Amino acid sequence: MKDISIYFKPVPKNLFEKTGELFSSIQIHDESGFPEIDKKGVAIIYTPEYRNSEIDSDIQNDSFRSHLYRMSNGDAWNFEIYDLGTISPGEKESDTGFALSQVISELLKKDVLPIVVGGSQDLTLACYKGFEVHEQMINICSIDNTLDVGDPNTPIASNGFISHLLMQRPCYLFNYTTIGIQRPYTSKKDVELFDKLYFDLCRLGQLNTDYRVAEPFLRNSDLLTIDFKSIKSADTDPLVYTNPNGVSASQICQLSRYAGISDKMSCLGIFDIEPNQSNAASELLAQIIWYFMDGYASRVGDFPIGSKKNYTKFYVHLDDFDDDLVFYKSDKSNRWWLEVRYNPDVESMYDRHQMVPCDKLDYDNALANQIPDLWWKTLKKIN
């Protein structure tokens, strides 16, 4: 493993004043030195790089750490927790992004899941680049109230980075999902682009009807980024955030836990956090991290980690289709997957996307002769 300590500053001593049960379980980069990363687990990284956003980049606030340190250990948490400190902004924004991508790349090699906190959401691109060393197609999911597509011919920005991501060569992006979009803040042009690329959208209204609709999207993703501004301002800090009708505090914690449980999820980023936010908002930020780690502790080794040979297999015949749809139900978690078969001559880079997370409703709809959207969207991308 390369020496990544050169990118970090230690956690400030003043954050150690009020500590609790979880504090004693975290290996923290303090004045005594950088922790030795020798076991699988999660690593917290604070990256206050805001120059591509409207947030004041001169202020830093990592008080979420003191809230997190005071929390309890979850039940049966059997993994290492590292707090690696702060990646300070470099001379240019690209310098910060390079440092972050290098850190993520090295952590992934050690089976350590990075939790990146702070900075603007365009750091999603740096997180994505951290996966490039694996040379495999990945899925990204964002919890956001809008689509941050932007224009690839203009500088990258917090509210316009997806177009820059799509222009990367080689491109390892297989799918992009946005959960919680609000139509008043989402242009028709951007929605049409997502449809054209067979990407996924989950509207806030769908989430409010039943937040469990988001679970298969999160289970299908390698990288999750959360726009903190997409949370309802009454649940964060109405003095600095302005979204009156976003994802609720309870929903974001549940979604974070779903993400943590997913065996495929390998990186979490929480961005667009106002440094001058209230203690209550910082407490919520710490809770989001805690629930993600609680989900991580609850992983059961489902696909793609475990074998599907012991799953219950269901065949569904559809009218006017030569082949049956094939569903799998995990004996470990009772979660569902849909198999998308493709031309065997297609490159093996798509193999890990052949099993698409779904829910029982997709199976029930197939029994009623309805083709699941996720099936044909996946097939279109593979072929």
Residue 292 pLDDT exceeds 90: yes
Q: What is the CA radius of gyration of the chain?
A: 20
In this prediction, residue 347 carries a pLDDT of 56
Domains within the chain, CATH numbers bracketed: 5-297 (3.40.800.10), 312-382 (no CATH)
Q: Are 234 and 277 in contact (CB under 8 A)?
A: no
Give the pTM: 0.95
Whole-number Å distance between alpha carbons of 102 and 96 = 10
Lookup result for tokens 């799998």? 328
In this prediction, residue 19 carries a pLDDT of 80
Give the residue with greater pLDDT, 60 vs 289. Answer: 289
**What's the mean pLDDT in 190-214?**
95
In this prediction, residue 255 carries a pLDDT of 98
Least confident of 65-69, 324-328, 374-378: 374-378
In this prediction, residue 216 carries a pLDDT of 96
In this prediction, residue 323 carries a pLDDT of 85
Type of residue at 83: D
Q: Give burial (CB, 10 Å; 0-12/13-18/19+) of 312.
A: exposed
**What's the mean pLDDT in 294-300?**
95
In this prediction, residue 45 carries a pLDDT of 98
Span 148-182, pLDDT tens digits: 999 999 999 999 999 999 999 999 999 999 999 99
In this prediction, residue 71 carries a pLDDT of 95
Provide the pLDDT confidence category of residue 354 given band limits of 50, 70 and 90: confident
In this prediction, residue 18 carries a pLDDT of 72
Span 80-133, pLDDT tens digits: 999 999 999 999 999 999 999 999 999 999 999 999 999 999 999 999 999 998
Whole-number Å distance between alpha carbons of 23 and 81 = 10
Q: Quote helix, strand, coil % in the chain, to nearest 5.
A: 35, 20, 45
3-state secondary structure of 23: helix
**What's the mean pLDDT in 252-281?**
97
